[in-house]
């Protein structure tokens, strides 16, 4: 999918909208936080709880790499205190949106800024999307680091509630640490380490547990596999005894089903947490992901 991030807004129209628009935030005593997509919102909710007003820019069902901001997004960002993004070239449209919103008081929080990123070795992808894998939130360890970064911005922007944010961060990270440790032992107990996903979003998770992913679509969910690539995937599945093809909301369901039928596997949903899914929290979806992957490898 090609990035289409162009905010083409006639200046007069923008003045008219910003001049008459009502704030979409709630309680004016709370910190106004805008996030780029669902995973960032989940981390902010875990830390900010009921002390923040939260808006998410990218709607459910929209691929973050493909997003086009709207006038409403400009208006909302012009009223925000903090804008939380993933970074690592995930939100290629963010800089232009920030410039258009023209909010001198806005603080930009790049949640990945204090973490070491995976290098993307696919030259075809790096030429357009940069050298790093952006899917950092799909690692429990990296998610803890990102949550700590977000919490730091909340402390600075709202020092009155710093103790509250710190307690939430401790609780959230402790729960992730416990879950991560549980699956270190589980994945160590299985000989098979290979699984197939809809797109290559689980590299950080694989690094965490010594697993190996193969995918139908690339890291940025662009394009569909050629006949030769699909044949290679079929061979990979047979060689590695893959019995489950994991499919995500924003990847090709048809190809996942076709591949599964070729290798006598089942199709199982897995969560990339790029969109809101089934009213589940970040923790619930990560626990689900880990258990489904583990069961597929037994």
Residue boundaries of the structural domains of the chain: 11-180, 185-297
DSSP 28: T
The 3-state DSSP class for residue 123 equals helix
195-222 mean pLDDT: 87
> What is this structure's pTM?
0.89
Instruction: Report the range of poorest mean pLDDT among 16-20, 33-37, 119-123, 236-240.
Output: 16-20
DSSP annotation of 59 = P
* Percentage with pLDDT > 70 across the chain: 88
- pLDDT at 16 > cutoff 70: no
Contacts of 290 (CB under 8 A, 6+ apart): 179, 183, 186, 205
132: β partners: 119
- Which residue has tokens 């193969």? 214
The yes/no answer on whether domain 11-180 falls in CATH 2.40.50.1020 is no
CATH architecture, domain 185-297: 3-Layer(aba) Sandwich (3.40)
| Equal CATH topology for 11-180 and 185-297 | yes
Q: Does residue 13 carry a pLDDT above 50?
A: no
Distance of CA 17 to the CA centre of its chain: 30
Query: Which letter does DSSP use for residue 39 in this model?
Result: H
Cβ(99)–Cβ(74) below 8 Å: no
* pLDDT, mean of residues 106-130: 82
Helices (H) and strands (E) in the chain, counts: 11, 8
Question: Residue 25 and residue 79: Cα distance in Å, rounded?
Answer: 8
Q: Provide the β-strand partners of residue 266.
A: 244
């Amino acid at each position: 999918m090609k990035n289409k991030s162009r905010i083409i807004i006639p200046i007069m129209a923008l003045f008219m909208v910003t001049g008459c628009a009502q704030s979409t935030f709630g309680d004016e005593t709370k910190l106004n936080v805008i996030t780029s997509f669902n995973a960032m919102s989940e981390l902010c909710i875990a830390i900010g709880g009921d002390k923040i007003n939260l808006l998410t820019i990218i709607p459910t069902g929209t691929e973050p790499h493909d997003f086009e901001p709207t006038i409403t997004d400009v208006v909302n960002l012009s009223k925000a205190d903090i804008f939380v993004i993933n970074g690592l070239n995930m939100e290629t449209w963010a800089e232009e949106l920030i410039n258009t919103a023209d909010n001198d008081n806005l603080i930009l929080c790049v949640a990945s800024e204090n973490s070491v990123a995976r290098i993307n070795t696919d030259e075809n992808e790096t030429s357009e999307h940069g050298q790093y894998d952006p899917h950092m939130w799909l690692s429990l360890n990296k998610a803890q680091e990102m949550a700590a970064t977000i919490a730091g911005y909340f402390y600075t922007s709202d020092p009155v509630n710093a103790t509250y944010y710190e307690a939430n961060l401790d609780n959230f990270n402790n729960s992730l640490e416990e879950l991560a440790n549980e699956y270190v032992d589980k994945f160590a107990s299985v000989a098979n380490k290979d699984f197939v996903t809809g797109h290559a979003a689980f590299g950080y998770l694989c690094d965490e547990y010594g697993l190996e992913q193969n995918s139908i679509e690339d890291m940025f969910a662009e394009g569909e596999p050629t006949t030769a690539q699909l044949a290679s995937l079929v061979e990979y599945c047979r060689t590695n005894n893959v019995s489950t093809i994991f499919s995500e909301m924003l990847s090709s369901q048809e190809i996942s089903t076709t591949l599964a039928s070729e290798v006598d596997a089942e199709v199982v949903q897995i969560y990339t947490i790029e969109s809101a899914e089934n009213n589940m929290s970040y923790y619930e979806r990560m626990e689900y992901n880990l258990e489904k992957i583990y069961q597929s490898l037994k």
